[in-house]
Amino acid sequence: MKRTERICRILQILTKNPNKDFSLGYFAALFDCAKSSVSQDMKTIRESVDEGGYGRVATTTGARGGVRYVPHISGEKALETLREIRRRFLETDRVLGSGFLYTSDIMFDPHIARGVAEIFARHFAESEATCVVTVETKGIAIAAFTAELLRLPLIVLRRESKISEGSTVSINYFSGSADRIQKMSLAKRAIQPGAKALIIDDFMRGGGSIKGIQDMLREFDAHAVGIGVMIVAESDHRKKIGDYFPLLLLDLDEKNDGVAGVRLNPKIEKDWFREKTPV
């Protein structure tokens, strides 16, 4: 096998298995070559990935040294994703009335969902989460991609318990967007006591759903170590939660049933981008 082909194969294996450790011996045996050759390959791969701005290749030293691919979206690529989301949210035919927006085409777009997940994976890389948790809404795709990138199990809270889930725990919570009491359920086998959860949601008004997830976690003696929300409505100031990481801030024009504006989370702009480029 030519070196260029071997490098391509190694890079493919690493990127398809984010945050999984591989020993140099594994690749040496797989491609029937010396560890020193694999080490040189890794140097080339590391430089390419860093320059491309779509991740990092972390290495461990010693006799059993190995490598892992760590997803790490660059500020520029994150900005491209956020600009695209902003553009689509500002489409005039997206408003349904009564302050509601049609968002299914955005939330279920794999390209956008993957881009948002890469941003969350970068921000929460050091959270020490042991699972990703979301509720049965349009945010499942984003949460699933985030779980894959962080190499964590995904746990989805249901609106209604299913017989296929076995024994479940159910709680009631107040949904600000629906303006009524709703219920969410979780199978007793779904989460381990003491779990550290990363909560991912697609859209937040008052934070009722996320507050409900936090209450559910306490029922399992678990707790949240991070909360990521794709877009937050700024017009509703009665937030039930305080410590969350939004990507975009939405200003709803409720009087005229429209969107007054969408802006980038200032923290992302300050910490991630060298140039103050407005979204």
Q: How confident is the model at residue 234 (pLDDT cuts 50, 70, 90)?
A: confident
Q: Which value, to the nearest 10 degrees, does the dihedral of the CA atoms of residues 11, 15, 16, 22 take?
A: 70
Say how far apart CA 235 and CA 95 lie, in whole Å: 15
Q: What is the pLDDT of residue 94?
A: 77
Does pLDDT of 275 surpass 50? Answer: no
Q: What is the pLDDT of residue 124?
A: 95
Does pLDDT of 279 surpass 80? Answer: no
Q: Residue 100: beta bridge partners?
A: 97
Mean pLDDT of 41-68: 83
Q: Residue 199: beta bridge partners?
A: 133, 227
Backbone angles phi, psi at 100, to 5 degrees: -100, 145
The domain ranges of the chain are 3-73, 75-272
What is the average pLDDT score of the chain? 86
Tell which wins on pLDDT, 206 or 82. 82
Residue whose structure tokens are 């921000």? 123
With a CB cutoff of 8 Å and minimum separation 6, the contacts of 67 are 14, 21, 22, 24, 42, 57, 58, 59, 60
Q: What is the pLDDT of residue 219?
A: 92
Does pLDDT of 97 surpass 70? Answer: no
CATH 3.40.50.2020 correct for 75-272 = yes
Q: What is the pLDDT of residue 213?
A: 93
Q: Where would I find the beta strands (DSSP E) of the chain?
A: 22-23, 54-59, 66-73, 95-97, 100-101, 131-135, 154-157, 168-175, 180-187, 196-204, 223-233, 245-253, 258-264
Query: Lowest mean pLDDT: which of 85-89, 180-184, 196-200?
Result: 180-184
Token pair, residue 26, equals 């594994």
For the segment(s) 3-73, the CATH number from 1.10.10.10, 1.10.3720.10, 3.40.50.620, 3.40.50.2300 is 1.10.10.10
Which residue in 237, 212, 235 sits closest to 227, CA to CA?
Answer: 212
Q: What percent of the chain has pLDDT over 90?
A: 51
